[in-house]
Amino acid sequence: MESAKEKQDNAMERIPLMNPYKMGKFQLSHRVVLAPLGRLRSYDYLPQPHAILYYSQRTTDGGFLISEATAISETSLRYPRTPGIWTKEQVEAWKPIVKAVHEKGGIFFCQLWHVGRVSSNGIHYYFLLSTHGNGKGGLSAKWTSSNKGVRAGNARAESGDCMPPRRLSVDEIPQVINDYRLAARNAIEAGFDGVEIHGAHGYLIDQFMKDQVNDRTDEYGGSIEKRCRFALEVVEAVVKEIGADRVGMRLSPFADYMDSADSNPNSLGLYIAESLNKHEVAYLHVVEPRMITIEDNSKTPYSLLPMRQAFKRSFTVAGAYNRDEGNKAIDENRTDLVAFGRLFLANPETV
């Protein structure tokens, strides 16, 4: 007759998502990750007390959570009511939220975010008059002269026009990198266990990496190596500030979200995965190729397997996964962890 422990062990073997996993120095009790999900409920760019309930409801002992996208500076904004991490007041507002997650045994990373050229028309104009923006629109890897700015492909949630962006000058790039560094420091001060650098979905870092957007002719444009330089300089700065074991990165090399695509996404994904090995970051979080935009779940010839094989540390996938697909991905060793979004929105007790 099976003991209770044997029954539990056998059940875990049948449900790969429920197997424990060690992500660097963090011991996880299962493979299910709370994906970063924008909430638009942070007034004056301050996370609100109701976020304590939202995150704590989705926390399990030994579970891994990634925060909603969090702005690194006053020039990095797009949406109204998104949280930031660049001021002391924001750091203090995050502290009780992080504490609530830790009290339930969760591991919590803050996603660091700069929107680049897709800053919304009008919403943050007064912010864009400051240090980097100079009232000329969002910062970008390129200059786009269209009066309509940049749209987000098929995504209804992004249907508003963006301000016409301006090219980020080489002289300004170190300041933006420093904004990431300071935001990472602030996240640790707020109590987060680490940070995830948002390099996906057509925002600033993705804009530099994708050749549909990046038409620069300087040291940050042209070859894959040059287009990825900005991303890797951000990673290097953040790693130096808080340690590689506290840093992850999210990528979507196959996506065309925010009109940000690449002519050779396989090569781009493989190059950045191999390059991140040199920085020894804790994990790589990649959006499935089938998610061309946030509304798509398309058939595609592309696969994340080359990136999975190239990256030597913890690998996380996301993109319209259900329980069965997640279990299969773990069982076939195509990933270590699976991030879920909609399931957690529908049911905080998904795990």
The set of catalytic residues is: 203
Q: How far is CA 304 from CA 67, 140, 197, 257, in A?
A: 24, 27, 19, 18
- First-to-final CA distance of the chain: 28
| Nearest by Cα to 70 from 239, 170, 203 | 203
Spacing of C-alpha 76 from chain mean position? 14
DSSP 134-191: TTS--EESS----TT----TT-GGG-S-BPPPEEPPTTTHHHHHHHHHHHHHHHHHTT
Q: How far is CA 236 from CA 199, 231, 249, 283, in A?
A: 14, 9, 12, 14
Judge contact between 186 and 76, C-beta under 8 A.
no
How many helices (H) and strands (E) the chain has is answered by 11, 12
Judge contact between 277 and 315, C-beta under 8 A.
no
What does the alpha-carbon distance between residue 142 and residue 156 come to, in Å, rounded to a whole number? 25
| Rg of the chain in Å (alpha carbons) | 19
What does the alpha-carbon distance between residue 222 and residue 214 come to, in Å, rounded to a whole number? 8
